[in-house]
A and B are shown apart, each in its own frame.
Chain A
Amino acid sequence: RKEVEQDPGPFNVPEGATVAFNCTYSNSASQSFFWYRQDCRKEPKLLMSVYSSGNEDGRFTAQLNRASQYISLLIRDSKLSDSATYLCVVINAGNNRKLIWGLGTSLAVNP
């Protein structure tokens, strides 16, 4: 089983739709969680950190469920510019703090 797993998609949604991605992780001792966004042939960019209490940034909401070992990303009112690959990242305690990446979920927002 991979340490971090995501549904690769692609998710094709119309503008204005709400879309949710899940990411599961295998190590119960995982400590920190992030969502990154990567545009085609570009570098990943931090979208948001994920906190135990959940956090929201505009149209984006991230949740952490430690009991079920998954994190989620909800995008409301999708825009064309949201089209990208969304990568889930986990840091495990005592693992030299290296980031463990999912393969990413591809999102295409259509007009």
Chain B
Amino acid sequence: ETGVTQSPTHLIKTRGQQVTLRCSSQSGHNTVSWYQQALGQGPQFIFQYYREEENGRGNFPPRFSGLQFPNYSSELNVNALELDDSALYLCASSTPGALGDTQYFGPGTRLTVL
């Protein structure tokens, strides 16, 4: 196990609703990255938080927002849900290193938007 936890494991919402997903990083890791993985696709980078600040963002609209807390846990918020937001949402924790980050993933939250 990686020590990264996510909640909830599954979630069903309807279009237009808002959702908050949570991630607890591995002990000692100060960086959390969030990914969206649609069925049959590779993970798509949403954004990364480093020491409570956003540290890079992928091609996702502003209705995808996040937070990182002093204990380095993180939240992903999605407003005005759309059907295409149905996916597995993964968070990964890491500590920046000279050779690039080794990221440790949580089990994911599977979101279904009806």
Instruction: Give A contacts to B, CB under 8 Å.
Output: 31-32, 34, 41-46, 49, 87, 91, 95-104
Contact = CB atoms under 8 A, between A and B. Distances in A.
A102 B107 CA distance: 19
Nearest to A6: B42
A103 B41 contact: yes
Contacts, number: 59
Nearest to B31: A97
Interface stretch (B12-20, B65-73, B76-84, B97-105): B97-105
B8 interface: no
A91 B33 CA distance: 14
A104 B107 CA distance: 18
Nearest to B55: A96
B90 A98 contact: no
Contact of A44 (B58, B101, B105, B110): B105
Contact of B42 (A31, A46, A102): A102
A98 B45 contact: yes
Interface string B29-60: 00001010000111111001000000110100
A31 B101 CA distance: 11
Given A31-B100, A91-B100, A101 B105 contact: no
B111 to A, nearest CB: 14
